[in-house]
Structure 1
Amino acid sequence: MAPAANESDQKLSLGALIALVIGSMVGSGIFALPAAFGRATGALGAFIAWVIAGTGMLMLALVFQTLSRRKPDLDAGIYAYAMAGFGDYIGFASAAGYWVGCCLADVACLVLIKATLGQFFPIFGDGTTPVAIASASALLWGVHVLVLRGIKGAATLNTVATYAKIVPILLFIIVAVMAFDAELFSSSFWGAEQPDAPNVFTQVRSTLLLTVFVFVGIEGASVYSRYASDRSDIGIATVIGFLTVLCLLVLVTLLSYGVLPRPDLAGLPTPSMAGVMEAMVGRWGNVFISLALLISILGNYLSWSLLAAEVLHSAAVNRAMPSFLASLNAQKVPVGALWLTNFAIQAFLLVTWFAEYAFTLALKMTSAMTLIPYFFVAAYGLMLASRGETYVAGERARIVDWICSAVATLYAAGMIYAGGAKFLLLSSILYAPGTLLFFLAKRERKETIFRPFEAVMFAALAVAACAGVYALAVGAISI
């Protein structure tokens, strides 16, 4: 029998934590940006969208950094912060919502892997054919076996995958700078025939939910705080990872407007970065970027698998989830949480067979599910700064932290509103039945299930879930 892994052997360095943040964010989204933005807006609208998203997410990154420093006892931050600030049920809902978002992100990765292969092997189709789903299932359980062998080994593989996928993106940016046509860029600047500020505002709004998806994963280092060799590395890794990814996203988006006309960008198939590369260097560029996409998504998939299992485990350790999810194997891997995570991914993967646009649905649902946990993290940071908790009298950092957390809270609330009623209803369909885990956890501890306010919240959630099911049944909303 293999000896138990030494706890110190599972510690992650600053470089590994940065790779977790970058690896979690840089996945399928960045390779789809040229066409996605080309369909929605011109260069000016794209720039404004990145300013809004970059500011909001930078504030959120700074909130994570502040909370990791001021509340070092709270591990798996995105769940623990919500629970500490708003009670058991909100904490549970944040953990459950984030976990479901991770599972859906993994489904998006699996579908896109097979869709990319489908460009070369038609049997995989759009990623939802029987062969595609069967092979995706095999990959799912293969990674499951890998992660069971140890977090450290899986994180090391993720670090390697992160560096491997950054190199092709940097090459794309270098080639795009060399091929950049300022006149072509100027013709796509306004995204319309004539300058029109109201039209630009509409264009920006249509891109905001997409920007949320490409930033999801910013909390990677915070979630893995208990594995950090030095807790001061958590905030540093979050900010460095965020700024690195933001630079890549902005450059890939804006440079593409100087390579192809906006209508041509809009018509590119996924992964559209491959189409832009082909326009610059020929067919080999398309193949090269497609291979880079596969590497990127595989690393991204591994990151999401690690994050999903870790959130469930940490919630169970803190007794917000049933105790079976807190179990560890000899390698210190949260085995109960990992099994439940991969069963959920498998179930969602089977549902993609019936979805008309499986990848797009998984992408948008990931954004919708993770925005709510983000909101509560930002709100908790705002609560600490407002009350002065953990601050000494007259400390200047309190004002700065209050501003950062207030902007992050408003940003998350605004993005939830921008997503619209459809995704709130679909999210409630997933949140409501997930409350069963909360019931089980409370029964294990022989505690009252809901406080009065929490009972009202659950009732509202249940009503929203019923409304969502009804809307799906009558065709008012669709997947």
Structure 2
Amino acid sequence: MSDPTEISSTAGTTSPSADSPRSHSVHIRTLIALIIGSTVGAGIFSLPQNVASVAGPGALLIGWVIAGVGMLSVAFVFQVLAVRRPHLDSGVYSYVRAGLGDYIGFTSAWGYWLGSVIAQVGYATLFFSTIGHYVPFFSAENRWISALSVSLLTWVIFLALTRGIRQAAFMTTATTVAKLLPIAAFILLVAFLGFSWDRFTLDFWGQDGSLGSVFDQVQGIMLFTVWVFIGVEGASVYSKQARSRNDVGRATVVGFLAVLVLLVSVSTLSYGVLTQEELAILPDNSMASVLEAVVGPWGAALISLGLCLSVLGAYVSWQMLCAEPIALMAWDGLLPRRLGAVNRAGAPWAAQLVSTAVIQLTVVIFFLNETAYVSMVQLATVLYLVPYLFSALYLVLLATRGRGVTHPHAGTRFNDSGPSVGRADNRRHLFVGLLALVYSLWLFYAADLTYVLFGALAVAPGLIPYVWTRRRARERAFNSFEWCVVAVVLAAAAYAVWGLATGALTL
């Protein structure tokens, strides 16, 4: 593969404008690698145990059909918006902001950022628990050793990221290629050496245990399937730096299809090696245990190596993506401008510093509370759903009324101007938007209410810097639609605080 990026630096720039802080120079191959690198992370290695804990093979296949169609519609939402609104350079965040107002855009970026922070801690937890299986020094009994190791890894990556996006993108591309080899080996070895059709169909609908109805099983795996797809919008986040706007849409779809094939193969084939009950009690790195059952200990070692490479690559990708929402909001005046500062290497060092510090704080909180990896997954996924939901709603508004909710910055680059769309295309876009909107709402319904409430509690503090920045700029804080969202967020956050105080809610 050729040099993954040709991103030019902005020498001497400390506070770039929102219009052109960096050049359009990221190749489509790098965008696809970024999607696969940030999507295929820790989730795929724990997927056999995660889905088997709540569903049998039949429900799993139904769930993958729903997740495949739903997440493909979400991917198409970002593809369509990239074409219909080419002047919006900040991807997920700017689409929502332009269509639904400043605060909804801010909340989407804030939720995306916090989800990325929590995902970082989840990735690192799985990384060191896997190492601990082979090196007792990092075992679960030495949680503070792992916490210190996670902290050190986080700050080392921060220092690497401050050297510029070119180095970070190269690290992402290299680890993406390296980690796909063990996953491919797992699929081939299990398919040809370990898969048993009789075992796969033994309890096809999961009725022998306590999994509940097929509907309950499908509902139970929804957030796990979304978690392993998180990152499919990665190309959209970097749309400002893509060589071609069409590359953003193509990379999103190609990356999605590649990831879908990997996820379905790994989760489905595992049921042909071990029964649902056996899969459900495996450790977090359950893919290693499945391959060990087929070829022996060397298979587990191979997958563990792949997991470490995968998590390291995803860790770099997400720590890089973490800073983008903070920097973009600073450039657009929704956060203090200083947070958008860029160094001589073209890296948004201030946003990266804030993100790294919050990751460090989250490491301490989660390790003190001994929060399980699965709980981190559920909470992060709920936060990621916020920009998915509102992006789909914006596309529906575009297709039905040609514009979003009235925006306070009419006439700026955040207005609803864009290329004209024919009736046939508009109907297709409406179908895609409605499908993604219904799917996003279904995911909130399928989620554990506890994580939805804690998600609202995580989003609520963002009101403080947002309102402060709006007041300082002497601009209106909320439009009428945003006031409704604020009321819902504050009510849910208040309930979460009550639940924490009384012990009714815990992570």
How does the TM-score come out when normalised to structure 2? 0.90
Superposition deviation, residue 226 in structure 1: 1.1
Given that 1:372 and 1:416 are in contact with CA atoms closer than 8 Å, whether structure 2 keeps it comes out as no
The superposition leaves residues 97-127 of structure 1 with CA deviations (integer Å, 9 ceiling, x where unpaired) of 1110111111111111111111122332339
Q: Matched residues, percent identical?
A: 39
Q: Which residue, 382, 386, 401 being the options, matches 2:400?
A: 386
Partner of 1:445: 473
Partner of 2:11: 4
Q: Which residue, 210, 213, 217 being the options, matches 1:203?
A: 217
Q: List gaps (5 residues or longer) in structure 1.
A: none
| 1:268 counterpart SS class | coil
Superposition deviation, residue 38 in structure 1: 1.8
Instruction: Say whether residues 1:191 and 2:216 are aligned partners.
Output: no
Residue type of the partner of 1:4?
Answer: A
Alignment of 1:70-81 (within 5 A): 70-81=84-95
Deviates most, 434-443 or 29-38: 434-443
**Structure 1 residues 5 and 147: alpha-carbon distance in aligned structure 2, compared to 1, 3 A threshold:** farther
Given that 1:113 and 1:127 are in contact with CA atoms closer than 8 Å, whether structure 2 keeps it comes out as no
Deviates most, 90-99 or 118-127: 118-127
Partner of 2:504: 476
How far apart, CA to CA, are the structure 1 residues paired with 2:472 and 2:338?
Answer: 11
Alignment of 1:104-183 (within 5 A): 104-126=118-140, 129-179=143-193, 180-183=195-198
Question: By percentage of residues, which structure has more helix?
Answer: 1
How far apart, CA to CA, are the structure 2 residues paired with 1:98 and 1:128?
Answer: 31
**Structure 1 residues 92 and 183: alpha-carbon distance in aligned structure 2, compared to 1, 3 A threshold:** same
Alignment of 1:383-462 (within 5 A): 383-388=397-402, 390=418, 392=420, 394-451=422-479, 453-462=481-490
Partner of 1:343: 357
How far apart, CA to CA, are the structure 2 residues paired with 1:5 and 1:275?
Answer: 51
Superposition deviation, residue 10 in structure 1: 7.4
Alignment of 1:95-106 (within 5 A): 95-106=109-120
How does the TM-score come out when normalised to structure 1? 0.95
**Structure 1 residues 367 and 127: alpha-carbon distance in aligned structure 2, compared to 1, 3 A threshold:** farther
How far apart, CA to CA, are the structure 2 residues paired with 1:397 and 1:173?
Answer: 38
How far apart, CA to CA, are the structure 2 residues paired with 1:125 and 1:385?
Answer: 53
How far apart, CA to CA, are the structure 1 residues paired with 2:130 and 2:36?
Answer: 22
How far apart, CA to CA, are the structure 2 residues paired with 1:84 and 1:3?
Answer: 27
The superposition leaves residues 430-459 of structure 1 with CA deviations (integer Å, 9 ceiling, x where unpaired) of 111122221232134222333455345434
The superposition leaves residues 261-319 of structure 1 with CA deviations (integer Å, 9 ceiling, x where unpaired) of 22221221120000011011100111111111010001011111111111211122122
Q: Which residue, 226, 230, 234 being the options, matches 2:244?
A: 230
Partner of 2:300: 286
Superposition deviation, residue 177 in structure 1: 0.9
**Structure 1 residues 8 and 443: alpha-carbon distance in aligned structure 2, compared to 1, 3 A threshold:** closer
Deviates most, 138-147 or 262-271: 262-271
Given that 2:85 and 2:419 are in contact with CA atoms closer than 8 Å, whether structure 1 keeps it comes out as no
**Structure 1 residues 146 and 432: alpha-carbon distance in aligned structure 2, compared to 1, 3 A threshold:** same
The superposition leaves residues 5-27 of structure 1 with CA deviations (integer Å, 9 ceiling, x where unpaired) of 99888721111000111111101
How far apart, CA to CA, are the structure 2 residues paired with 1:25 and 1:135?
Answer: 23
Partner of 1:295: 309
The superposition leaves residues 225-268 of structure 1 with CA deviations (integer Å, 9 ceiling, x where unpaired) of 11112221100000000010011000101111111222221221
Q: How many residues align?
A: 477
The superposition leaves residues 367-403 of structure 1 with CA deviations (integer Å, 9 ceiling, x where unpaired) of 0101111100111111111124657475311111110
**Structure 1 residues 144 and 124: alpha-carbon distance in aligned structure 2, compared to 1, 3 A threshold:** same
How far apart, CA to CA, are the structure 1 residues paired with 2:132 and 2:361?
Answer: 22
The superposition leaves residues 17-42 of structure 1 with CA deviations (integer Å, 9 ceiling, x where unpaired) of 00111111101110011112222211
Partner of 1:242: 256
Residue type of the partner of 2:274?
Answer: L
Instruction: Say whether residues 1:35 and 2:49 are aligned partners.
Output: yes
Instruction: Say whether residues 1:58 and 2:89 are aligned partners.
Output: no
Partner of 2:274: 260
How far apart, CA to CA, are the structure 2 residues paired with 1:460 and 1:182?
Answer: 48
The superposition leaves residues 156-183 of structure 1 with CA deviations (integer Å, 9 ceiling, x where unpaired) of 1101111111111111000011022111
Given that 1:182 and 1:258 are in contact with CA atoms closer than 8 Å, whether structure 2 keeps it comes out as yes
Residue type of the partner of 1:98?
Answer: Y
How far apart, CA to CA, are the structure 1 residues paired with 2:392 and 2:23?
Answer: 32
Instruction: Say whether residues 1:89 and 2:103 are aligned partners.
Output: yes
How far apart, CA to CA, are the structure 1 residues paired with 2:436 and 2:319?
Answer: 26
Q: Which residue, 296, 319, 325 being the options, matches 1:311?
A: 325
Given that 2:10 and 2:346 are in contact with CA atoms closer than 8 Å, whether structure 1 keeps it comes out as no
Q: List gaps (5 residues or longer) in structure 2.
A: 1-8, 14-20, 404-417
Given that 1:25 and 1:218 are in contact with CA atoms closer than 8 Å, whether structure 2 keeps it comes out as yes
Instruction: Say whether residues 1:21 and 2:56 are aligned partners.
Output: no
Deviates most, 459-468 or 323-332: 459-468
How far apart, CA to CA, are the structure 2 residues paired with 1:314 and 1:393?
Answer: 28
| 1:187 counterpart SS class | coil
Residue type of the partner of 1:449?
Answer: A
How far apart, CA to CA, are the structure 2 residues paired with 1:338 and 1:394?
Answer: 42
Residue type of the partner of 1:61?
Answer: A
